[in-house]
Structure 1
Amino acid sequence: MLALDTQHVRMNQHAVDKAQALQCLVDILVEDQLVQPEYIQGLIGREQQSATYLGQGIAIPHGTPQSRQYILETGVRLAHFPEGVVWDGENKIYLAVVIAAKSDEHLQVLQILTRALLDDVSERVQNAQSAQQIIELLQAQPPSLNLHENLITTQAVVTDIDDFLWQASQLLKQQKMVESGFLSQLQLKNMIHLGEDIWSISANQHVLSPAVSIIKAEQPIQYQDQKLGTLLCIASNPQLDMSQFNRLMDIFFDPEQLQALSQQQDAQHLAQLIGADVIPDWASQRVILANAHGLHARPATQLVNTCKAFQGEIQVSVDGGQFVSAKSLTKLLSLGCKRGQTLTFIAEPETDAVAGLSAVIAAVKQGLGEEVEPIQDEADTVVAPEPTHPMLSETLTVPDQSQGIAASSGLAFGPAHVVKPRQFQYERFGSSVKVESEKFDIAIHQVKNSIRQFIAQSSIDAIKQIFMAHLEMLDDPDLIQSVQRGLKQNLSAAAAWHEHIEAAAKAQESLNDRLLAERAADLRDIGERVLAVLCGAPEIVEPQEPYILVMHDVGPSDVARLNKDRVAGILTAVGGASAHSAIVARALGIPAVVGAGAAVLNIPNHSVVLINGDTGEFVVKPEAQRIEQAMAERERQRQLREQAEQHCLEPAITLDQHAVEIAANIGKVHATAKAVEQGAEAIGLLRTELVFMSHNSAPNEAVQEADYRVVFDALAGRPLVVRTLDVGGDKPLPYLPMEPEENPFLGLRGIRLTLRQPELLRQQLVALLKAADNRPLRIMFPMIGRVEEWREAKAILDEVRAQHPCEHLEVGIMVEVPAAALLSPILAQEVDFFSIGTNDLTQYTMAIDRGHPVLSAEADGLHPSILLLIDQTVRAAHQHGKWVGICGELAGDPKAVPVLMGLGVDELSMSSTRIPLVKAQIRQLNFADCQQLAQRALLCDSATAVRDLVE
């Protein structure tokens, strides 16, 4: 990065004219070994094209693109000419900032200089006596305070003070007023009650530019026995304009103004009340800047001249930031716009500037006096939704037989009904804000009514819950306001809606947590439904005969709309087993294979497809014999399940009388009763983070205790294994804000987080012990990788247990970090049990993200490396009389069950729907045979070899 430094300043230079000054500058660059002498031709050539006078006695000479061959090293030097040099035939310069840049690094210098030029510095530059004075003048930032409509959110959904702080800091961060770390500086001790329901809070660390964000809640909350409905978040630094800030505070200390502000619910009106800049309701057009080196002085000058040809005001913003006058060279340069960024121009209504926007856009596209490589400008094109996951190759062939991800159990076959991603045609810009707003309101209303009909007609809770969430999304005031902002910039309703939904979906799928990222499909699902209404797209016609639905991805509304008596099965190119589409498919009992690759979209319509929702396999154009075998297998599986369910309450004991405890994994407390009905002898994993996520705010001790009692009561004396709160990093809680991490899977999560917030852990432990009432309770700590972590967590539990005794308590750890498995001989001496989380243990051992769209299939828990870690853990535990459970997905895998049993695992915990079948399987096994099988599996060289061995 280029920087202005005192050692790069040459004071008291002399030149009789511009030519001599340019030679002086080149001599300095040559002396410092930045350029060759021939670089002088580049400086002269640039001045012939357009003088590089910046303003207020400062010039920024730099070479032409052709002269870059003479640059040895990128750099910048400053020459002080106290007597002045006439630069553009009219203005004298007293400081020349000469730049030798091989690319667009000089834009950083321009931003520094143009910020300084917001004040009149010419006289001080001329009279400067030292290099230090020069640098201080240029780097000084004039007092400022950013007050803007885009820093205001109204109708915000908040449930506690953390929501307020999070949303306020996010607004500031999105507008680049603060950087990471600002949120952590917002201390509640700095909260000030201004009056009515309005409070303020401030921080001065990690602030890039002084600013105030305002969050106005849909419903006020209680805070310190007062109402909190509006929060002012003040980001302060030494450049804070105190006079402007005091004027703002005067408004909030005026009782009449305060009452008006408290009652105001519109962001624009609120902005006007406090004197903030508002987003003008002006005609707008956008264009992507194609200039290779950004909006530097010469193209910026051309842009200023183009805009000045029109009497009306023209303003511009970069990538959705604040608008500045496009007729001010200084303000244009302060934007620091680079190639590829989007410029949004707006024109004052009822002036010639509105018609002039087209000329401005054309000038930018033509390069503003420079030759440019065109960039595809989305302002000129219709927008069509793209696939949610890019494929590795565009050359796709029809697969004959392949593998996807098993998402919904069962075998199915039938003719393919291939539905490719729809493309919607629409104009980017609308006729008027009023017309487009009405279109948008009608579309939202129509889609809401349609969703309500789905909810009313459905008898399946899983579908109802998903569509109720979709209704919540469509009622989100932030979503509506964001689209309205797009409409105010003259976007069509379709363009404003699609841009916001797509941006939100991309942000969601970028999350490192697989479950949260897959919810991007829900955003796109409602996005497409509204877009279809806005574009008048026809409904997709369903075949009349039973078929296999083949799609890029199946949204919940797609599945719910379909006739389950006709949809024999579902095959998708992308998706995961935990996506909402898979959940709905399972709820409807439709076999599904997902994540099968883009090639499935090339399957010809009406071609027969056979899918296996238990293994993830699918076959295109299977032979008749294979279909017959599938039909026979499907009938056999139906009978097996029927028999298994009839005996699900019986214990899992092998033919040679070896018993294994079969437990259920649950994430909702009310799922306990169903798990017991399906044969669960215990709850082997209560994912308490999902219990926390079911609340809009952090559940206190009483709320947690009530939740846990639901589980204990339903278990009726059966054991409960609880994993303490396992959030952070890749599994965030909305009311527990955390700093983003570069690699959250290796970051602050699980026990690492709760040990750093011990009150959170202590509160949960108290709630668990009180809810137990001396019923069997097994507590385990997640993500243990070091013995010290176990001991620290155990010490906190011991303190809690001293105040809340619990007789039937066992304490253990999750083995999901390879270090824990390797340390098992030491840990086994101290813990009461181990529970092996094979999902994470596989991911960390294999170094494969289990949610990866391409590699996830290779993260197989039956890989010998995982089995060796399980074997060591079991041996260590049994040596000290401790038991070992498996609570990962591997526990319910029929090919893994005999191997895990043979390794000596004492408990298998799985999805409750798998329990009857696993119990039935175990009753047909011989434990001695399983032990021999397990030893052979440990000698295999791959997961495939292990699975073949079991087969």
Structure 2
Amino acid sequence: MQNNNNKELTLSAPLSGPVLTLGKVPDAVFASGAMGDGIAIDPLNDTLHAPCAGVVIHVARTGHALTLRADNGAEILLHLGLDTVELQGDGFTVLVKEGARVSNGQPLLRYDLDKVGQQCKSLISLLILTNGERFQARPITLKTVKVGEPLLHIVSRENTSVNADVSDGPEAKGQVRIAHRGGLHARPAALIRQTAQGFSSQSQLHFAGKSAPCTSLIGLMGLAIGEQDEVQVSCQGPDAEAALQALLSALATALPDDHHADAPVSVATNKRPAEAGVLHGVCAAPGLVGGPLFRLHAIKLPSDAGGNDPVQQKQALDLALKQVRSDIDATLNQAQKHRNTDEEAIFAAHLALLEDPALLDAAFQSIEQGSAATHAWSQSIDVQCEVLLNTGSALLAERANDLRDLKQRVLRALLGEAWHYQVPAGAIVAAHELTPSDLLQLSAQGVAGLCMAEGGATSHVAILARGKGLPCMVALGSSLLDQAQGQSVVLDADGGRLELAPSAERLAEVQQAQIDRQQRRAAQQTQAHLPAETRNGVHIEVVANVASSHEAADAFANGADGVGLLRTEFLFVDRQTAPDENEQRAAYQAVLDAMGDKSVIIRTIDVGGDKQLDYLPLPVEANPVLGLRGIRLAQARPEILDQQLRALLQVSPLQRCRILLPMVTEVDELLHIRQRVDQLCVELGISQRPEIGVMIEVPAAALQAEQLAEHADFLSIGTNDLSQYTLAMDRDHAGLAARVDALHPALLRLIAMTCAGAAVHKRWVGVCGALASDPLATPVLIGLGVSELSVSPVQIGEIKDRVRQLHQAECQRLSHDLLKLSSAAAVRHACHQHWPLR
């Protein structure tokens, strides 16, 4: 609805459903605030309505998004779902045309809820204020809304800047140390801006003699504030104290999922002293390789005298964009098929960028003025790259590389150029800066390594290189491009060195190291199907963590001795209704069938708390990980567990199926489930009883391990949850995640206590948390009494090989000494000393 003041506006909900802040949207482009401030809704209906009266100024070609200009001048992008551009309009019906005047609440587009929901990444839909330089958005509610209910308040920045009440109001000041990894780059700056805009007071951030309004993204990033830098915050206005506390909290709480947190620590920079015959750079992906240098060159555009036919050039650009979208779709399909989430996220963002009005409108405007499509597209990208580079943020500068990737791909399509690099297998590729699509092509051609004159260790190329296992160095400087084509070099990414004139002996040494590594991996794989026994003949089961029959088949092919943890949540999430008994039984049977004659441990449903089901509404909890989850949910909703147990009891052969209960904290919970299983077996006419185990995920369970083992058939330690509950640190908290280490002596004491308690009743103990997949921890776990390790399928061969190097008696003696150490770091150091990794 429109307010009386023409500069202010209340937007109504365009959809019905739960409301989310942009920071919770699972898409980097929207969540970062790069496209503007706004709000998100997870829709429950199939029609998008106008949030206000206005004019439709843009409709996406694929019908999944449109933009309205409200009567006060605010421009609002309505974007239905994430990655819905990939559907190319399938399932969408646009009900209005560009230029049309619409009223508040008028239907704008309709979509097929089932079809779109099954094919896109998420139905979460966005309402984005795209001209945030003139207006700011203030959420009215973060609860579930219905169409037409008040959602956002849009306020003119002109009004707030001259607000006398603000400038004359009370003032509050404070200081804080920045917790965000990498400092105040785009994502945290967007969070600070969003926080500041929720208050009437004016807020300023002060650092190193400079200041910036907390509502200015560019201003905040321009302060060049680093991680752990101390800053001052000042707020003035009627709610100054509340604004100050909210901003201090936002600055002191690191954001999760910063990609650069995954980047390896650089051991070299291009500021190191000169060394003859060596270029120094930054390690983006570790490794040591040798081979011939192969230089790549950028595309050069033909000259453009202008005066081109706009209609022809628009058609050419449209065709090129369509071709590139199709190519990226194919890349995404492959990434999804191989479950490569990093690759999937990067190229999904590329698809979103291809729909960015800032890029498309600028290019088509240049074409209208007579430019060739090639030059219009190139200039449009260059302008946006310049904007990112001028922010002063190294992270945003690296994201400009994604735009250059799209520039290159579309230009190739316009010029009719196929992938034109004939790179010999085993070459070390040198370039000014590689793009994500370059990397995928080069990886497929079998190159040995990558080096770039520019680029950064947190770039998308670096992330992909690490995922592909390709050694990669960046920031080597322009002299890299002066090196002769085909000369032999050694790329020592671990040491941050590119050796330009290695001796024959050095090349032979590097080659031998590569051969040794490949042979070791090959040997591990050839032995992966054999039992894992220590040097003194103690058998250790090495099994797999899986979440589907497809993953179980991968585990079996990789030599798993069984399934140590089947996460049954895969059946229950991302759907509108619960799976029935028949669907569950078929899914569990498929996992058993995929594992041949090996046993399968199936964990009962572990949702609740922070893992919600759409069809199972649960109360919002202040501390979800301490709330209604795991076996507690089964107690609250026993019909869900009953149905799952019925399905499990009907698999064949039942003796290969073991049932695992999550989040058990006391013996009565186990006894209750045992009794219920007995009752169901009688009802189903089943004489055999499956083994029932308990997950040790909370300290209470570890402390009562002996009592639990009296009534359980086995115990399985979930080190991920046990770590966070023992250390009182959220394992998803970016600022604390590195400290949530399961090799902490306190955790090891709980593991030792669990094994000792189980031994009293001759029960075996397994570990299915991430610690089981860490080869450094293998001897420790064996020494403390663990006899089963459940790991990711690709690590079966490696962990079995590690077991065969060990002697149980030595592991026992040394592991119990580790319990006396003071920290996880001390334990890790001791492990490296006692049992070095090959």
User: How far apart are residue 759 of structure 1 and its match?
Assistant: 3.8
2:552 and 2:818 mapped to 1: Cα distance? 34
Residue 950 of structure 1 deviates from its aligned partner by: 1.8
**Corresponding position of 2:390:** none
1:288 counterpart residue number? 133
Q: Structure 1 residue 560 and structure 2 residue 445: aligned?
A: no
Q: CA deviation at 1:662?
A: 1.9
Q: Under a length normalisation based on structure 2, what TM-score does the superposition of the two structures give?
A: 0.55
Q: What does residue 366 of structure 1 align with?
A: none
Cα distance in 2 for residues equivalent to 1:169 and 1:733: 19
Partner of 2:655: 775
Q: Structure 1 residues 703, 268: closer, same or farther in 2, change over 3 A?
A: farther
- One-letter amino acid of the counterpart of residue 695, structure 2: M
1:677 match: 557
**2:759 matched residue in structure 1:** 878
Counterpart-to-counterpart distance in 2, 1:460 and 1:263: 23
In structure 2, the partner of 1:451 is 328
SS in 1 for 2:582: helix
Q: 1:851 to 1:473 in 2, by over 3 A?
A: same
Contact 1:289 1:341 in 2 (8 A): no
* Alignment match, 2:771: 890
Query: Cα gap change, 1:950/1:287 in structure 2, threshold over 3 Å: closer, same or farther?
Result: closer
Which residue of 824, 830, 834 corresponds with 1:949? 834
What is residue 927 of structure 1 aligned with on the other side?
808
Residue 904 of structure 1 aligns with an amino acid whose one-letter code is G
Q: How far apart, CA to CA, are the structure 2 residues paired with 1:793 and 1:552? A: 62
Alignment of 1:123-162 (within 5 A): 151-152=13-14
Match status 1:573 vs 2:402: no
Confirm whether residue 462 of structure 1 aligns to residue 346 of structure 2. no
State yes or no: 1:266 paired with 2:266. Answer: no
Following superposition, the deviation at residue 938 of structure 1 comes to 2.9
Residue matched to 1:610: 492
Give the Cα–Cα distance (whole angstroms) in 2 for the partners of residues 266 and 885 of structure 1: 58
For 1:862, which of 738, 743, 747 is the aligned residue? 743
**2:105 equivalent to 1:276:** yes
Contact kept in structure 1, 2:336 and 2:344, CA below 8 Å: no
Letter in 2 for 1:610: D
Instruction: Please list the CA deviations of residues 541-599 of structure 1 after superposition, one character each: whole Å capped at 9, or x if unmatched.
Output: 8976856679999986454221445532479724999977655x1xxxx4568xx9x98
Answer yes or no: is the 8 Å Cα contact 2:335–2:344 preserved in 1. no
Structure 2 portions without partners, runs of 5+: 31-37, 54-90, 109-128, 139-150, 170-188, 192-210, 223-257, 273-278, 300-309, 367-375, 386-395, 484-488
- SS of the residue corresponding to residue 873 of structure 1 reads helix
TM-score with structure 1 setting the length: 0.50
The amino acid across from 1:946 in the alignment is C
Aligned to 1:825: 706
Letter in 2 for 1:701: E
What 5-or-longer segments of structure 1 have no aligned partner? 1-113, 119-143, 154-163, 192-196, 201-208, 212-261, 295-319, 343-371, 423-432, 503-519, 612-616
Alignment of 1:753-832 (within 5 A): 753=633, 755-785=635-665, 800-804=680-684, 805=686, 807-832=688-713
Q: CA deviation at 1:717?
A: 3.2
How far residue 683 of structure 1 moved from its aligned partner, in angstroms, is 0.6
Letter in 1 for 2:769: G
SS state of the match for residue 762, structure 1?
Answer: helix
Which residue of the partner structure matches residue 938 of structure 1?
A: 819
Map 1:693-708 to 2 at 5 A.
698-708=578-588
**Measured at CA, do residues 634 and 265 of structure 1 come closer, stay the same or move farther in structure 2, by a change above 3 Å?**
same
SS of alignment partner, residue 684 of structure 1: strand
Distance 1:414 1:911 in 2: 32
| Letter aligned with residue 529 of structure 2 | L
How many residues of Structure 1 are paired with residues of Structure 2 in the alignment? 624
Q: Which residue of 2 aligns with 1:133?
A: none
Q: CA 1:524/1:788 → structure 2, altered by over 3 Å: closer, same or farther?
A: farther
**Contact persistence 1:933–1:950 (CA under 8 A):** no
Whether 1:664 and 2:544 are equivalent positions in the alignment is yes
Residue 756 and residue 272 in structure 1: after superposition, are their counterparts in 2 closer, same or farther (change >3 A)? farther
C-alpha deviation, 1:524, in angstroms: 10
Give the 3 Å change call, closer, same or farther, for CA 461–934 of structure 1 in structure 2.
Answer: same
Closer/same/farther in 2, CA of residues 530 and 644 from structure 1, 3 Å limit: closer
AA partner of residue 133 (structure 2): I
Find the aligned partners of 2:459 and 2:490 in 1 and give their Cα distance: 22
Say if 1:549 and 1:663 are closer, same or farther in 2 by CA, change over 3 A. Answer: farther
**In 2: Cα distance, 1:699 partner to 1:416 partner:** 55
Q: SS where residue 529 of structure 2 aligns?
A: coil
Amino acid in structure 1 at the alignment position of 2:834? L
Distance across 1 between alignment mates of 2:318 and 2:335:
29
**Contact 2:548–2:591 (CA<8 Å) still a contact in 1?**
no
Is the 2:719–2:768 Cα contact (8 Å) retained in structure 1? yes
Aligned mates of 2:565, 2:437 — CA distance in 1: 31
Return the alpha-carbon distance in structure 1 between the equivalents of residues 92 and 554 of structure 2. 48
Letter in 2 for 1:462: H
Q: 1:761: Cα distance to partner? A: 3.5
CA distance in 1, matches of 2:168, 2:295: 42
Counterpart in 2 of 1:725?
A: 605
Q: Does 1:835 align with 2:716?
A: yes
Q: 1:769–1:806: 8 Å Cα contact kept in structure 2?
A: no
Q: Secondary structure of 1:699's match?
A: coil
Q: CA shift at 1:876, angstroms?
A: 0.8
Give me the whole-angstrom Cα distance separating, in 2, the residues matched to 1:806 and 1:406. Answer: 56
**Equivalent residue in structure 2 for 1:620, among 489, 497, 500:** 497
- C-alpha distance in 2 between matches for 1:832 and 1:491: 71
Structure 1 residues 900 and 169: CA distance shift in structure 2, 3 A: closer
Q: CA RMSD in A?
A: 6.9
Residue 687 (structure 1) shift: 2.3
From the superposition, tell whether residues 526 and 341 of structure 1 become closer, same or farther in structure 2 (CA, over 3 Å).
closer
Aligned to 1:906: 787
What secondary structure sits across from 1:775 in the alignment? helix
The structure with the largest alpha-carbon Rg is 1
User: How far apart in 2 are the matches of 1:816 and 1:669?
Assistant: 25
User: What are the Cα deviations for residues 453-482 of structure 1, in whole angstroms up to 9, with x where unaligned?
Assistant: 6589x8995289998999988999xx9999
Deviations 1:647-669 (A, max 9, x none): 43332223332212221122231
Match for 1:934: what amino acid?
S
Query: Residues of 1 paired with 2:670 and 2:462: CA distance?
Result: 31
- Note the C-alpha offset of 1:885: 0.4
| Structure 1 residues 655 and 443: alpha-carbon distance in aligned structure 2, compared to 1, 3 A threshold | same
Letter in 2 for 1:620: R
8 Å Cα contact 1:416/1:603 also seen in 2: no
Letter in 2 for 1:446: Q
List aligned pairs for 1:477-488, cutoff 5 A: none
Residue 806 (structure 1) shift: 7.1
Q: 817-826 or 543-552: which moved more? A: 543-552
Give distance in 1, aligned partners of 2:655 and 2:410: 57
Aligned to 1:711: 591
Equivalent position amino acid for 2:95 in 1 = D
* CA separation of 1:900 and 1:464: change in aligned 2, threshold 3 A: closer
If asked which structure has higher relative contact order (CA below 8 Å, sep 6+), I would say 2
For 1:139-218, list aligned pairs within 5 A.
151-152=13-14, 165=17
Match of 2:535 in 1: 655
The structural deviation recorded for 1:721 is 0.9
Post-superposition CA distance 1:408-437 (Å, at most 9, x none): xx7645699999xx9xxxxxxxxxx99999
8 Å Cα contact 1:814-1:836 kept in structure 2: yes
Distance 1:843 1:701, change over 3 A: same
Q: Is the 8 A contact 1:463 1:560 kept in 2?
A: no
Cα distance, 1:873 vs structure 2 = 0.9
